[in-house]
Amino acid sequence: MRDPAAVEGSDAVRQNAFRDAAVTMKRRLDLMPALPLPSLESLAIQRQVKDIGKA
């Protein structure tokens, strides 16, 4: 995910960058509780979290 603070442009462009980052972070956080943590091995958990980061 790009750093929204690094976005250059008008106020509207920068605001959209922060909004997009917030939506992406919320989506990722919402997906995390659905992971079956007790049945996953450590490496599988890391892979699942990484996959969520790509969503």
Q: What is the rounded distance in angstroms from the CA atom of residue 11 to the CA atom of residue 39? A: 46
Tokens (6 digits) for 8: 């250059």
Taking Cα atoms as reference points, which of 46, 34, 1, 39 lies closest to residue 20? 1
**Predicted pLDDT at 55:** 65
**Is the whole model's pTM more than 0.75, yes or no?**
no
**Domain limits of the chain?**
4-54
**Predicted pLDDT at 4:** 94
- 19-43 pLDDT, tens per residue? 999 999 999 899 888 877 776 777 7
Query: Which of 17 and 42 is assigned the larger pLDDT?
Result: 17
